[in-house]
Amino acid sequence: MMIRIATRKSALALWQAKHVADALRPLPQVTSVELVPLTTRGDEVLDRSLQKIGGKGLFIKELEVAMEAGDADIAVHSMKDVPADMPEGFCIAAVLERANPADALVGKNLGELAQGARVGSSSLRRQAQLMALRPDIRVEPLRGNVNTRLQKLEDGQYDAIILACAGLERLGLEAHISEIFSPDQMLPAAAQGVIGIECLEDRTELLQLLKLLDHAATRTVITAERAVAKQLQADCQSPVAAFGEIDGTTLNLRAMVASPDGRKIIREQVSGPADDPLALGISLSGKLLDMGAAALLAQTGTDE
């Protein structure tokens, strides 16, 4: 079976696609693997916030069109960018073992930042949690791929920026990390650090093949995390976080909903059997809604 992988053209997206290709090539059913690099609208429009132009789903749509048209067989994504509701006819056939899920501060650590320092972030989730830690800090929008963001920091546009540890580590850029946030400081986005493989649901033979790459523990955890986001009707740009960890047969799941300025944060956690992650995620989202999560999310404006 020949497999064509649709991917964005950024260095991180290409690394992830090549990583999946390297996992596929040794399988006896696979005769060849090739990459199909594509430009998405999310990559092209960099002068406006993702919320204003349609959310992180813009990084995915063109890859799905390529699969529908028969120009690609699978697409590789950062799972934190994948909406909780999949489009009809598509599925996440496999997820790889989770990398470092934490967020990192690049440039300076939190204690070194001066009063009123400018910190770049493309995420309301990060903005809210950072401002809860340091209300004096100015969080300013930051778009572009990892290297573009690092260059903007180097050029002095920001005093520090926040990036995902996984992306920096995958690109060999971990030396840029000044501080890694603990989950207590900054809870990660649902499925952060996880690579997912998407394909059409009717590709039965391909689905069976891709299942060989699926990492069961990672799928369990992100099923719970993504259920929280789905039940809260949150997208990748909402000030919502969810993070699960498996301890034996128990799944410990915590989540956070915040006002964009970080002045109001709701945190809750639940534990339960790891073999029913969906129920655990739904239970936790219900607790958050009972605590006023909907009202907080209603405060989310159109600016990052």
pLDDT tens digits for range 88-113: 999 999 999 999 999 999 999 999 99
Average pLDDT over residues 32-39: 95
What pLDDT score does 236 carry? 66
Q: Please name every residue paired with 239 in a beta bridge, in sequence order, or none if there are none.
A: none
Query: Is it the case that residue 50 has pLDDT exceeding 50?
Result: no
Active site residue ranges: 81
Q: Which residue has the higher pLDDT, 51 or 155?
A: 155
Alpha helix locations (H) across the chain?
A: 11-24, 41-44, 50-53, 61-68, 124-133, 146-154, 165-170, 204-210, 216-231, 277-290, 293-298
**pLDDT at res. 300:** 74
pLDDT value for 260: 85
pLDDT > 60? residue 43: no
- The mean pLDDT of the chain is 92
List every span in the chain annotated with CATH 3.30.160.40.
226-298
- Whether the per-residue pLDDT at 21 is higher than 90: the answer is yes
For the sheet containing 138-140, what is the strand order?
138-140, 118-120, 160-164, 103-106, 177-180
- Fold classification of 103-180 (topology level): D-Maltodextrin-Binding Protein; domain 2 (3.40.190)
> Average pLDDT in the 254-279 region?
95
Q: Which pLDDT band holds residue 57 (cuts at 50, 70, 90)?
A: low
pLDDT at 303: 38
Statement: residue 10 has pLDDT above 70:
yes
């501060």: which residue's tokens?
Answer: 105
DSSP letter at 144 equals: S
When pLDDT is averaged across residues 74-95 and rounded to a whole number, the result is 94
Task: Examine the pLDDT at 156 and tell me if it is beyond 50.
Answer: yes
Residue 106 backbone dihedrals phi, psi, to 5 degrees: -120, 130
The CB-side HSE value for 190 (13 A sphere, CA atoms) comes to 32
Angle between the 146-154 and 11-24 helix axes, to the nearest 10 degrees? 150
Tell which CATH architecture fits domain 226-298. 2-Layer Sandwich (3.30)
Indicate where the chain has its CATH 3.40.190.10 domain(s): 2-97+194-214, 103-180
Tokens at residue 105, please? 């501060």
- Alpha-carbon gap, residue 160 to 202, rounded angstroms: 46
177 has a pLDDT exceeding 70? yes
Predicted pLDDT at 41: 60
pTM, two decimals, is 0.91
* pLDDT at residue 27 in the model: 97
In the CATH hierarchy, which top-level class contains the domain 2-97+194-214? alpha beta
Is the model's pLDDT at 53 over the cut of 80? no
Report, as an integer, the average pLDDT of 42-70: 67
Averaged over 203-221, what is the pLDDT? Answer: 98
Question: Cα–Cα distance between 191 and 225 in angstroms, integer?
Answer: 7
Residue 160: what pLDDT? 98
Which pLDDT score is estimated for 84?
Answer: 87
